[in-house]
């Protein structure tokens, strides 16, 4: 009995040694070489495994960074420019500079602007609702508000506002990984550049219906009027399928389009508040009013020129005794025409213009005064 047990143990040991030798030579024969720099690059990455870079995890991103000579198309949105510059300096390669991005929700249809027309009684999922019908409101393009984007975010950068029923993005926490973009079945979440001083202007609407239908469904919908397109001087706004879109690469952040939008579909982010309008600015005179104001001004020079000519005081008052005879015929001629052209003075007020009648010469003919008055 002991001999059988001993033989069994020796046999198992010999088989184990032979199997180990065989496995060793097979491993050496089919050995796959892996660059040790991959492990180093993987440790330099954030390790979020979010998939924002386009690879299933940070390991795949590290492998691509080490094996590809040109890494300009590769970028880690979570690590940002600092992480990419560190990896590029370690590998001795050049990396392309890329502006930081942030997720924006292109829907401004809150509960008060987009009333419900029905109530969904089922699974709380945007994907489920979108697969069944358009949603609980009349807008078939707006946010469904079930929070699939919130569940997809691994950084807690997005949440649902209970008052508006819309998702809101925290700029400081958002890494622009794009997980929320992929999770939204309505495709209303977009990655846009943060912009200068984190200022952005975009159209917070995705409704492609005609203006009347879109306006009935949501008070803040884009109605495709085209006023923003005409206002923009840089060609940054395009209108397609009854929906305006602002190109962030061409937008100069002048905010003229936002002021022209009649429904408030264009959103301004992180801009200083606009100065309040003064009372005088709201009561600007119309062109017709300006015409009324300028009409009397044109008539004043005519009356001013005609008044001195028809005033009797100036024609009656002699300048010197020597010119009495020459002034008398002229005064008589003026007196004949005065009743026709005279408008301002009256006969009762004319004598008051002559302060001292005694100062007139003694030999003044009386016929001139009688003729005038």
pLDDT at 361: 45
**pLDDT at position 288:** 39
Tell me: do 80 and 111 sit in the same domain: no
Which of 98, 118, 133 finishes a domain?
98
Max CA separation in the chain (angstroms) = 180
Total domain count, the chain: 2
Please check whether residues 43 and 187 belong to one and the same domain: no
Neighbours of 224 (CB within 10 A): 20
- The vertex-16 CA angle with 13 and 21, nearest 5°, equals 130
Does 180 lie in the same domain as 44?
A: no
Are both 267 and 199 inside the same structural domain?
Answer: yes
Q: Does residue 325 fall inside a structural domain?
A: no
DSSP string covering 157-222, please?
Answer: -EEE-TTT--EEE-TTT-----HHHHH-TT--EEEEE--GGG-EEEE-----S-HHHHHHH-TT--
pLDDT of 278? 63
Q: Report pLDDT for 208.
A: 94
- 39 occurs within a structural domain: yes
* Each residue's pLDDT tens digit, 107-153: 999 989 998 999 999 899 999 999 999 999 999 999 999 999 999 99
Give Cα 26 to chain centroid, integer Å.
65
| 149 in any annotated domain | yes
> Is residue 176 within 8 Å of 100, Cβ to Cβ?
yes
Same-domain pairing of 232 and 187: yes
Alpha carbons 352 and 370: distance in angstroms, whole number: 16
Residue 345 lies in a domain: no
Asked if residue 142 is part of any domain, the answer here is yes
Mark the ranges of the chain whose per-residue pLDDT is less than 50. 282-331, 333-373
Q: Give this prediction's pTM.
A: 0.64
The pLDDT of residue 321: 41
| 247 part of a folded domain | yes
Q: Is residue 64 part of a domain?
A: yes
Domain finish residue from 82, 98, 114: 98
* Both structure tokens of 95: 């990396």
Identify the pLDDT of residue 310.
Answer: 41
Q: What is the CATH number of the domain that holds 212?
A: 3.30.70.20
Do the domain assignments include residue 3?
A: no
- Quote the domain boundaries for residue 203: 101-273
Answer with the one of 56, 78, 98 that is the final residue of a domain: 98
């Amino acid at each position: 009995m002991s001999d059988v047990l001993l033989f069994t143990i020796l046999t198992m040991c010999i088989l184990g040694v032979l199997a180990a030798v065989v496995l060793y030579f097979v491993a050496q024969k089919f050995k796959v070489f892996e660059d040790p720099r991959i492990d180093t690059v993987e440790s330099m990455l954030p390790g979020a495994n979010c998939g924002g870079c386009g690879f299933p995890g940070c390991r795949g991103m590290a492998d691509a960074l080490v094996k590809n000579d040109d890494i300009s198309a590769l970028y880690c949105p979570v690590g940002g420019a600092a992480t990419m510059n560190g990896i590029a300096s370690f590998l001795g390669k050049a990396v392309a500079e890329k502006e930081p991005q942030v997720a924006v929700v292109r829907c401004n249809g809150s509960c008060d602007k987009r009333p419900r027309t029905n109530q969904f009684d089922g699974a709380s999922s945007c994907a489920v609702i979108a697969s069944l019908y358009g949603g609980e409101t009349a807008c078939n393009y707006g946010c469904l508000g079930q929070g699939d984007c919130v569940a997809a975010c691994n950084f807690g950068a997005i949440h649902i506002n209970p008052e508006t029923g819309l998702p809101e993005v925290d700029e400081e926490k958002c890494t622009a990984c794009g997980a929320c973009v992929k999770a939204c079945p309505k495709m209303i979440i977009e990655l846009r550049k943060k912009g200068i001083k984190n200022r952005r202007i975009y159209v917070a609407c995705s409704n492609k219906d005609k203006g009347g239908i879109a306006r009935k469904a949501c008070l803040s919908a884009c109605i495709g009027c085209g006023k923003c397109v005409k206002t923009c001087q840089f060609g940054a706004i395009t209108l397609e399928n009854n929906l305006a879109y602002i190109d962030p690469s061409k937008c100069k952040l002048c905010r003229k389009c936002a002021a022209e939008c009649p429904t408030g579909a264009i959103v301004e982010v992180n801009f200083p508040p606009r100065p309040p309008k003064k009372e005088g600015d709201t009561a600007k005179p119309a062109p017709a009013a300006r015409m009324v104001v300028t009409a009397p001004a044109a008539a004043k020079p005519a009356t001013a020129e005609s008044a001195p000519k028809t005033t009797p005081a100036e024609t009656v008052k002699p300048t010197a005794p020597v010119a009495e005879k020459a002034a008398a015929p002229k005064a008589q001629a003026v007196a004949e025409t005065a009743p026709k052209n005279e408008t301002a003075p009256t006969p009762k007020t004319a004598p008051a213009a002559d302060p001292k009648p005694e100062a007139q010469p003694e030999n003044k003919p009386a016929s001139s005064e009688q003729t005038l008055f």
